[in-house]
Every structure is written in structure tokens, then in C-alpha cells.
Structure 1
């Protein structure tokens, strides 16, 4: 099992590298090109353009009410991890990138690189079970109230609104195009890094018998997903195994894998795409009948 100190170290390393990528996307490329790529960073860029306040500090300040509103939904572990990530991101954005050169070329090129670096940064942070807050907190709160809603649809509506507001504030219709391009590329990059975003993923975990129940409990307590336990037996070794079956979203895959390998480094994790997942937390049965 991975020690707490090693886990904290790896989380911090991923936070720092992810925040550097995010800083490159937001500060080095998007800021000077005058467009809002969506998310809380997009709102911070808009406010920075109007009031000339630090982007990182704005992002952290905007996150505070979202943390308060969502604290009951987020879970202690995820909340603390995200707060650490937000703090690291703020330091890097406000104290490192202002001293580095900004891209001053074509805005469309800036939007492409904004999408690439933002996607890389978010993916690395998500892979350690953390987030940069903002829309992540909003989505989780909405999903708690409306579990049948698609995460993609929620994010699309919020980001579209931010991009449109950015176009109005910058007084440039092209700024809307740049924001859309950045968002699309961010999604594509995250798809590639994190296996691919679909309506659902199916995880089949073959683990030592004694770890099946604790793993299922952790998946429920930490990831807020249910799991099904089945008895299994190795055909060659004859050793009793527990088979843990779990449907989840793409963002949750890395966290579940980490938990499984924490209990059993020799666990076998199989991941498959699912065309449709019906049930609590995904699409409710009555929705499919309409």
C-alpha cells in the first residue's frame, strides 16, 4: 500500500506540473489574446481584463463561495485535495507566470495552445483525484440534485455562457470563436490523456478476496459510486478472488484504479466503454422510456 507521505508527494508533484500547464494555457496564451476559454479561469480572465486584478487570486476568491455551497457534496478528502490544488495553482499563476514572456502571435494559434495546455493540466490534476474547483464543484452540486443530467451538458451550458460573456466584454465576435476552439481542444486532449470521455465506463476489478469489500466501501465513500461484488477463482492458481464491478464516469477512473492498487498491487483492472448506463447517478430508468 502506498504510504500517506508518498501519496501526498505524488499529489503535490501532479498539482505543480498540472498547474504549470494550466498557467501556460491561461496566462501565456489566452490572456494576451483577449478571449475567455470557459471555466472559472475564463471568468477570472474577464475580471482581470476589466479590473486588472491577479488571475490566480481571482480564481481562488471565486472558488470560496463554491466550496462553502458544495462542501456537503464534495467529501472531505476531495475537498482538501482540491483546496491544495487551488492554492498551488494560485501561487504559480500570480507569482511565476507574470515574470515569463507571453505569446503575442495570432489569437487563433493562442486558442489552440490554450486548449492543449489546459487539457493537459486538468487531466494530470484529475488523475490524482483532485480538481481546480470552479465548474467541477458546480457540476457535482447539480448532479447531487439532478443525477440524471449529463455532466457534458452541464459543462457545455456553463462554458457557453462564459465564452459569450467574454465576447461581449472584449467587444470582439472572434473572441467567441477562440473560446469555443480552446474548449473543444481542451476536451479532446483530456480525452486522449484520460482514456476517453464517454457516457460511462465499466470497470471490472479482479482483486484478492480480502480486499473486495474494503475496495467497494472506498469506491462508495470516496468516489460516490456503487459496486457489485462477485466471487471468482483463478483457473491456474485456484486462488479465491473477488470481482468488483463498477460503472463510473471517465474522470473517476484514475481514482478508482489508485484505490484498487493501494489494496492489491497485483489487482487486474479492466476498463470498457459503455454505450449507455441506466440507473442512479447516470440516466434514470424513466428517462429512457420517454
Structure 2
């Protein structure tokens, strides 16, 4: 129980930090140039530009029904942490409203606005929360209609851009698209990490010798799978292992040195959990 509470406390702290970073990016880079980002915050920014309603106010109003639905149908911890993120973001948007850094180039504002806001959102999502809005909508749609979460977010943001073109300058919308793309990429990088992992599958007559070399020089866990050649009907050992990208050249060197005829398949993997990699941390 104590460990669970400490884990939740750390998540809340990081989510508050992420909300602060996101709010600074919005007030310093986006609002001065009337740029907007994706999700309900993007709608709130458009409302501010058109009707002078503070972004934080519109964000809270739009999210209230979503949090009610999310609390009923989604995990309570996710909704709780997302509520913390939304409230802290609204507070920080208000507190940092008058913070200014003079950035005259709208392209630079779009790039750095997307970069820094992406860092903030990435920290929030990494710690089990969200800024509400599209995240909750996507999860609810997925739950009831089995529609892909990522595709729901893409469709929502596409519709948002289409509506924005009707009310805002086309160049503003185009620069905003650049910021949204950068922000999404940064969020992905934070979730997956900079050091991507690779699944290695090797079919070789010298699998045992190769495995010994891998143990000695790379020190990663290896699993032998039993394979049968469809054409030859011969049984062969298949090496299955996961390595970091930086270890890949060494894997290739060892494999080709021992068996130049080895069949090697290298597959990108988004996430790996277990001994030697990330330890799963499930906090309810």
C-alpha cells in the first residue's frame, strides 16, 4: 500500500511538472502568434482568438462531461491523474499568461511551441495521465466501437484543422500543423525512448556457438525456438533475442563471423519489459 501511494505521489508530481511545461509553451510560443495545437486545447485556443474567452476556462468546460464519462467507463486512476493534469494545466495557463519571450519568427514559435508542449504532454502520458479531451474521447470510442485510438485522434485533429481554416488565416493553420506534428513526434519519442529496441531472429546451423558468443560479448537473454524448413524439412534452432540499437552492429558482426550463411531478421519493437530492460510498474 505504501509503495502504491509513493508511486501515485511521484506520478502526480511529474504530471504537475509536465502541465507547467505545456502551459509555458502555450503562453510563450503559441498564443502570441495565434497558433493552436491539437485536441480540446486547440479548440479552446481558437475560442480565445475569436471570442476572447480564456483558454483555461474553455478547457475545463469542455472536459467536464468527458471526465464524467471517463470516470464511469475508464480506469479511475487514469481519470484521476488526467483530472490533476487538466486542473494544474488550467492553473499554470493562468499564472504564466503574462510570461513573455520575444520570438518574432512564427516558424520558430511553431517549432519550439510544438517541441516544448510535446515534452510536457509526453511527461504527463508517461506517468499515466492525459490532458483529457481527445485522449478520453479516443479511449471511449475504442471501448464501445473498437476503433483504433490513434486514428480517432488523427480524425479529430483533421476536423479541427478543417474548422480552423474557416475562421483563421490559412498560414496560421499551416504553421499550427507543423507544431502539432512536432508535438506528436516528441510525445512518441518520450514514450518509446531514444534508444529503440530491436528483435533479432537468426536461423543458423551454428546457433549454439553463436549463442555462446552473444552471451559473452552482449550479455542478453536468448531463447531457442524450434524451426522446420518448409522446403528442406530440416529442423533447426532459431535464436530469438532483444537488443538495444547500439548493440546491433556487434550482433551482426558475431553472426556473420560465425555463419556467413545465417538468415537474420531485425524487427523494430516499440517497448520491451522484463529483466535487462524496463521493469513494469503497475500502480492501481
1:158 is aligned, of 149, 156, 159, to: 156
Distance 2:70 2:5 in 1: 27
Distance 1:165 1:106 in 2: 25
Distance 1:97 1:82 in 2: 21
CA contact 1:28–1:102 (8 Å) conserved in 2: yes
Match status 1:47 vs 2:55: no
**Count of residues in Structure 1 that have an aligned counterpart in Structure 2:** 209
Which residue of structure 2 aligns with residue 80 of structure 1?
80
Distance 1:180 1:2 in 2: 44
Which residue of structure 2 aligns with residue 137 of structure 1?
136
1:186 is aligned, of 145, 159, 183, to: 183
Which residue of structure 2 aligns with residue 235 of structure 1?
none
Distance 2:152 2:68 in 1: 20
Shift of 1:4: 4.1
Residue by residue, what CA displacement relative to the aligned partner does 1:132-178 show, whole Å, maximum 9, x if unpaired? 1000010001101222x3322211111112123223222x1112211
CA contact 2:34–2:172 (8 Å) conserved in 1: yes
Which residue of structure 2 aligns with residue 68 of structure 1?
68
Relative to the length of structure 2, the TM-score reads: 0.66
Distance 1:2 1:195 in 2: 28
Shift of 1:5: 4.0
Which residue of structure 1 aligns with residue 89 of structure 2?
89
Runs of 4+ in 1 over 3 A off after TM superposition: none
CA RMSD of aligned residues (A): 3.1
Relative to the length of structure 1, the TM-score reads: 0.64
SS in structure 1 of the partner of residue 192 of structure 2: coil
Residue by residue, what CA displacement relative to the aligned partner does 1:166-221 show, whole Å, maximum 9, x if unpaired? 23222x1112211211111012111211117xxxx99xxxxxxxxxxxxxxxxxxx
Shift of 1:250: 6.6
Distance 1:160 1:110 in 2: 21
Distance 2:102 2:13 in 1: 26
CA distance 1:10–1:160, change in 2 (3 Å): same
Which residue of structure 2 aligns with residue 115 of structure 1?
114
Distance 1:133 1:257 in 2: 24
CA contact 2:27–2:99 (8 Å) conserved in 1: no
CA contact 1:37–1:163 (8 Å) conserved in 2: no
